[in-house]
Amino acid sequence: MIIEDYISSGIIESYVLGLADAQEIAELEQFRSIYPEIQAAIDSFEASLETVALSNAIAPAADTKDKLFLALELQDEFINKTNTIEPDATDVKEEAKVVSMPLKPIPAKSAKMFQYVAAASIILFVLSAALNVYFFSKYKSATKQIVALLNQKNALYTDNQTIQAKYLELNSSLQLMSDTNIIKVAMKGIPGKEGDLATVFWDNKTKDVYLLPNKLPKAPEGKQYQLWALVNGKPIDAGVLEDCNGVCKLKNTQKADVFAITLEKKGGSPTPDLSQLYVLGKVSS
């Protein structure tokens, strides 16, 4: 074996990246202990991988480390070094001390002063009352706005949900239509009902039948559309069309030359009422 060829065969990269199969791994782990060149090539590729990854580092979310240490129940002193400042106990004590004041008659000199202070405090009180009224009305209108916004948010959320549900439905329909196992049978309106159209999607493998009622008038009260598979001209019940959005799944049908839809009484009939035939289409083979 020429070691250079082995080294440049790509095996080392697939080993390091975890893409080698069991046999290749066993082989390489044997060689690496014998040939220092191979060991060196592995080391070098690992080192350059690490360099690329480090130089492309993305800072993780700030709380990921906290969550991690919490999950592992490690001491959080290593998470970050900021210490919360504990209130000093002696300070608290001093503040709590009650200072007793001796009662003394107010001297005449300070009586005038007292009047000023009283006047000022009345003015302040009135001012603060006015402000209270003002802020309260602000608060009320803000609350109203919040409620309006919340309502709006809920409405948007519901809309979003509906759109997402619709989207998922359309997506599954689309997937069905693009599936290569699916035979598409367009059923056109019979003379007199040319505007009507429905499409059958028939899975070649599972024989499941899906129906897309592209254009069918709304079934009258107490009636339902029923799909028929015609084999050698003999109609076989393929299920009734329930009230579903988009594509509806009907009965599994093993054989069909032609698919057709008739309008029947609710729940379907054992044989079709051919006078109520709406659309039909041949299965192209």
Partner 1 sequence: MRLNLIYQYSLEAVKKYSETELVQLLKQRDQSAYSYLYDNYSGALLSVIYNIVSEVELANDVLQEVFIKIWRQIESYDDAKGRLFTWMLNISRNASIDTVRSKGYQNSQQNQELTDAKQEAAGSIQLSVDQIGLRKVVHQLREEYKVLVELAYFQGYTQDEIAKMLDIPLGTVKTRLRSALIQLRTIIKE
For position 52 contacting partner 1 by CB under 8 A, the verdict is yes
Cβ 4 to partner 1 shortest distance, Å? 13
For position 118 contacting partner 1 by CB under 8 A, the verdict is no
**CA separation (Å) from 276 to 23, 172, 225?**
68, 31, 10
Judged by phi (left if over 0) then psi (alpha if -120 to 50, else beta), residue 147 lies in alpha
The DSSP secondary-structure symbol of 242 reads -
Q: 182-189 and 258-265 as β-strands: parallel, antiparallel, unpaired?
A: unpaired
Q: For partner 1, which residue of 50, 179, 242, 273 counts as binding (CB under 8 A)? A: 50
Contact set for partner 1, span 22-41 (CB under 8 A): 29
Buried b or exposed e, range 57-71, using 16+ CB within 10 angstroms: eeeeeeeeeeeeeee
Tokens of 202: 């028939």
Stretch that binds partner 1, among 14-22, 85-93, 182-190, 274-282 (CB under 8 A): 14-22
Sheet holding 248-249, edge to edge: 234-240, 223-231, 258-265, 277-282, 182-189, 197-203, 209-215, 248-249
For position 61 contacting partner 1 by CB under 8 A, the verdict is yes
Cβ 18 to partner 1 shortest distance, Å? 5
Q: For partner 1, which residue of 1, 2, 22, 71 counts as binding (CB under 8 A)? A: 71
Q: 248-249 and 209-215 as β-strands: parallel, antiparallel, unpaired?
A: antiparallel
Stretch that binds partner 1, among 48-56, 110-118, 207-215, 240-248 (CB under 8 A): 48-56
Q: Going residue by residue from 234 to 263, which x/- string records binding to partner 1, judged by CB under 8 A?
A: ------------------------------
Q: For partner 1, which residue of 137, 143, 152, 164 counts as binding (CB under 8 A)? A: 164
For position 168 contacting partner 1 by CB under 8 A, the verdict is yes
For position 92 contacting partner 1 by CB under 8 A, the verdict is no
Q: For partner 1, which residue of 1, 2, 21, 218 counts as binding (CB under 8 A)? A: 21
End-to-end CA distance of the chain: 58
Of 11 and 261, CB closest to partner 1: 11
Q: For partner 1, which residue of 45, 169, 173, 251 counts as binding (CB under 8 A)? A: 45
Q: For partner 1, which residue of 2, 54, 89, 96 counts as binding (CB under 8 A)? A: 54
**CA separation (Å) from 63 to 60, 67, 70, 80?**
8, 6, 10, 11
Of 54 and 108, CB closest to partner 1: 54
Q: CA nearest 77: which of 65, 89, 91?
A: 65
Q: For partner 1, which residue of 110, 171, 214, 245 counts as binding (CB under 8 A)? A: 171
Look at residue 77 and give its three-state secondary structure.
helix
Task: State the DSSP string of 149-216.
Answer: HHHHHHHHHHHHHHHHHHHHHHHHHHHHHH-TTEEEEEEEEPTT-TT-EEEEEEETTT--EEEEEEE-
Of 17 and 150, CB closest to partner 1: 17
Instruction: Give the other-Cβ count within 10 Å of 245's Cβ.
Output: 10
Size of the site for partner 1 (CB under 8 A): 47
Interacting residues with partner 1 (CB under 8 A): 8-11, 13-14, 16-19, 21, 29, 42-43, 45-61, 64-65, 67-68, 71-72, 74-75, 78-79, 160, 163-164, 167-168, 171
